[in-house]
Structure formats: structure tokens, C-alpha cells
Amino acid sequence: MEIKQFEDQNLSHYSYAILSKASAEMVLIDPARDPEPYYAFAAANHAQIIGVIETHPHADFVSSHLQIQQEIGAKIFASKVMNPDFSIIPFDEDAVLEFGGIKLKSLNTPGHSPDSISIVLEHEGKDRAVFTGDTLFIGDCGRPDLREQGEDLESKREALAKKMYHSLRDKLMTLGDEVILYPAHGAGTLCGKALSKASSSTIGAEKATNWSLQAMSETDFVSALTEDQPFIPKYFPYDVDLNKAGAPNLRESLQAIPVLGKIDDAEKAAGLDAAILVVDSRPGAAFKAKHLERSINIMDGEKFETWLGALLEPGQPFYLAAADEQALSSLIARTAKIGYEAFLKAAFVLDFGAARSGLLDLGAFKGQSSDYTIVDIRNTSEAKAEPVFEGALNIPLPELQARLNEIPEDKPVVVHCAGGYRSAAGSSILDEALDTQVFDLGDHIKSFIK
């Protein structure tokens, strides 16, 4: 028996293959959008993928479960509460999937979502591991505010938080201390707020150190869980719905995207639709030197997918521009991780632009920062914990487009974050929207943070 953990560092996502060497069969848990790594692992072990288990319909990435079912006939297992648009085998409390001496046993563990399940792996008569999806993380538990929409959100989230309290205590904490914990996410995900960088743990270790498993009342737990959760990107509800509907075949989706030649002069740029937003992924310096009108600078970085889905509404068409062909190919694939390839009108390498961004006179700013309106686009909790400039407006980047009217235009505007990545995007948004000069403080912010 072998457990193979697959990691997508950009989305802080872990997926799993459980291999029975005795029967040459394999079951996947929470697979990512691209099924090829799982196919390759199965082929290398001369094994057949017989099933895919979804612990819940994920909000932060698109799963390949339907494509795998359609391509190789693997069965999909999930809670009946999920109620997807495709055929599943209901896999709720007391259900068992047995193959090659391995038993996978379902626990209903609602809290992160109403349809969350955890999967206990039994081998040779003992519980060896538990795959907890977004219910229990290392150092934290899943947030309860990503699924419920409509009216009375606060009470719906509180109800899920109460379910989380009992799922943790009545189900997961009853497992043996030696049982290995395999979550669906690690540090960096927005599905929780205090995750460890570790990729696995044990139930015993989490009982000793994880805040969510400590002795406390249900009321205190609900209060702690619902407080100071990170923002919810715009794409999360869309991905939940897409996972419940089943995503289209990845290869076919990528092949349908028009990839244009290099745009390096005005004549080529004139062929683009000026009404469509350009997501320019080039480094900040290249963007500021020259870029196309109606552009936003979401740089090619570790969290590109997250910020793409945080700043663009699902359904909003966009162009994708990159510094070179290699970067372009990689970023096209990364848009598909969150299902946004469906909105990508065309992609191209860019080395042209009539628009320019102003460069901040750092000496003048340091000498008289009061001559500028300073916009701090860090999260509210960050800004409160470590204020940098007195009198700065704190408008978190995900809220920037909706709160433009709060920014006065009687002075030049300086935008900052914690390191320069978010401020590149934020300053590009404000540069388009405001009738005043906008400057990006960029990584110079580090010289102001004490």
C-alpha cells in the first residue's frame, strides 16, 4: 500500500492517490484540474484508477473528477448532500470502499460546507490515515463562510461553525492519536487562516497543538472560528458551482484558447478589442514602462491564480499578456486551475504599449509624505497589526474597485502593500480609474516597515 501526495504550491492544494500494490488499483482524493499527473503515477505503477473521492465541492480550484470518469471510467464518490449534476456513488457515514486489502471509510464532517466528508484509511485491520479535505487542517480547521449565500448569512455561517465544532470533536478527535492526518490544503490557502506549512501531521499532534481541537465551549469556538477570516475571492462561488456541474475536458478547453503572435507594435495592438480588459502578467517595471490601455498588472507570481480570481468577476472576458512564450504557456494553464480559461478571449506575448505609469520620486515622498494620499491595500488585519503611514487609507486590494469613491483626487496617490506584489495590481487599477497621478511604492515599502 502506498499513499502519494501531490502538491500544487500556487494554490496550496494537496491531492492524493491511494495505491494498492496487491490489486494494482488506485483511488484518488480531491484531484486537481489536470489529471495527467495521476495518469502518469498509475501507469508507472501498472495500476488502474478505479475511483475518485471528493471530500466536498471545492471553492478554490477546479477538480478533474468528471474528466477522469469520462476518460477512464473511474467512479466518483461524494456525499449525497453534494447533489451534483453528474452520476456519483453516495459516500456518507458508514460507507466503505474496499480494494486490495485497503478500506476507505466515510465520515460526514460538515462545517466547512454542509456536504464535507472525511475519509479514514484502514489497512491490516487498523486505521492508518484520515483525509480531511477542508475540515481539519494542520494548525487550523476550515472556515465556515464560503458556501452559504443569500439572506441571513451570519446565522448560516454560525450554524456551519457549530457543525464544525461537533465534526471535529465527535468524529475526528475520536480517531487514534497515531492516525496520520492528510488535509487538502496547507499554508497559503484562503480556506483557513492559521495553517501550518507542514504537509501532514497526526491526530495526536493536532490534539496537542491545533487551536480548534482544544477544550472550549461551542460558543467560544464559533466566535474564534468566524473572527478575522481572510477575504473571499470572487471566483470561489463560481468554482463550487463548476465542481458540482463537472468541469469540461482540460485539453479541449486549452486548445480552444486563441494564442496570438507577439504584439510589439501599434498595428498589432490595434487588432485587439479595446473594450476587453488586459491582464498583464509582466514584471512591474516592464508594465510601468509601457502597457496597453485598460490593463491590470497581475504579475506572474506564486499567487497569480488567486489574484486573477479575486479581481476579475467570473464571466468577465479578458486578454492575457506575458513576457515570453514560456510564461504565457504556464499562465494559460494556471488560469484553467480556477476555471477562468472559459473567459480568456486570447493570449499573447507583449512588448508594446502607449500607456505609461509614473515613477515615484522616493526622496520627495520620504521628505513630505503628507503631499500624497497614501492607500494601504493590505488586508485590514495586516494594516491594524503593523501600521506604516499615519493617515493612510486602508482599502484591501479585493475591495479596491468597489471603493474608488473613497479616494480623494486632490493629491497624487501612492499605493503600498507589504512587499510590492499587490501594489503593482492596485496601482494599475487606480491609474486607470482616478483623475490624478498614481504611483506604486513597490518593494520600497520594506524601507518604511520597522
Closest CA to 14 of 218, 197, 256: 197
pLDDT score for 36: 98
* 405 half-sphere exposure, CB direction, 13 A CA radius: 1
Residues 154 and 282 in one domain: no
Residues 156 and 196 in one domain: yes
What is the pTM for the complete model shown?
A: 0.94
> Do 72 and 66 meet the contact criterion of CB atoms below 8 Å apart?
no
As given in the structure block, the three cell numbers for residue 67 are 474528466
Distance CA 34, CA 252 (A): 12
Position 135 in a domain: yes
Output the DSSP codes for 350-401: B---SB--PPP-HHHHHH-GGGSEEEE-S-HHHHHHS--STT-EE--GGGGG
As given in the structure block, the three cell numbers for residue 139 are 494548525
Please report, in tens digits, the pLDDT of each residue of the chain (450 residues total): 999 999 999 999 999 999 999 999 999 999 999 999 999 999 999 999 999 999 999 999 999 999 999 999 999 999 999 999 999 999 999 999 999 999 999 999 999 999 999 999 999 999 999 999 999 999 999 999 876 555 556 678 899 999 999 999 999 999 999 999 999 999 878 877 777 788 999 999 999 999 999 999 999 999 999 988 888 999 999 999 999 999 999 999 999 999 998 999 999 999 999 999 999 999 999 999 999 999 999 999 999 999 999 999 999 999 999 999 999 999 999 999 999 999 999 999 999 999 999 999 999 999 999 999 999 999 998 999 999 999 999 999 999 999 999 999 999 999 999 999 999 999 999 999 999 999 999 999 999 987
Residues 110 and 232 in one domain: yes
Helix axes 153-170, 218-226, angle to 10 degrees: 120
pLDDT score for 189: 82
Position 355 in a domain: no
Residues 327 and 431 in one domain: no
Position 242 in a domain: no
Residue 225, H or E segment: helix 218-226
Residues 338 and 384 in one domain: no
Closest CA to 392 of 371, 364, 368, 373: 373
Residues 101 and 155 in one domain: yes
Distance CA 111, CA 9 (A): 25
Distance CA 372, CA 360 (A): 11
Where residue 412 sits, what CATH number does that domain have?
Answer: 3.40.250.10
> Do 134 and 180 meet the contact criterion of CB atoms below 8 Å apart?
no
Residues 337 and 408 in one domain: no
Where residue 170 sits, what CATH number does that domain have?
Answer: 3.60.15.10
Distance CA 330, CA 333 (A): 5
pLDDT score for 152: 58
Closest CA to 50 of 32, 24, 30: 24
Residues 64 and 180 in one domain: yes
Distance CA 83, CA 72 (A): 22
The DSSP 8-state label assigned to residue 179 in this structure reads P
By residue count, the chain amounts to: 450
Position 356 in a domain: no
Closest CA to 63 of 300, 244, 186, 221: 244
pLDDT score for 124: 95
Position 325 in a domain: yes
Position 61 in a domain: yes
> Do 176 and 169 meet the contact criterion of CB atoms below 8 Å apart?
no
For residue 249, count CB atoms less than 10 angstroms from its CB and return exposed for 0-12, middle for 13-18, buried for 19 or more. middle
Q: Which residues contact 37 (CB under 8 A, 6 or more apart)?
A: 6
Residues 152 and 51 in one domain: yes
Q: What Å distances lie between residue 335 and 181, 286, 305, 309, 340, CA to CA?
A: 30, 22, 6, 9, 5
Position 321 in a domain: yes
Distance CA 170, CA 118 (A): 13
As given in the structure block, the three cell numbers for residue 331 are 499562465
Per the structure, the complete domain to which residue 336 belongs is given by 250-349
pLDDT score for 83: 94
pLDDT score for 145: 83
Residues 120 and 157 in one domain: yes
Instruction: Give the three-class secondary structure for 224.
Output: helix
Residues 112 and 213 in one domain: yes
Position 243 in a domain: no
- What is the number of domains present in the chain? 3
Going 347 to 350 to 355 to 361, the CA torsion angle's sign is positive
Residues 69 and 143 in one domain: yes
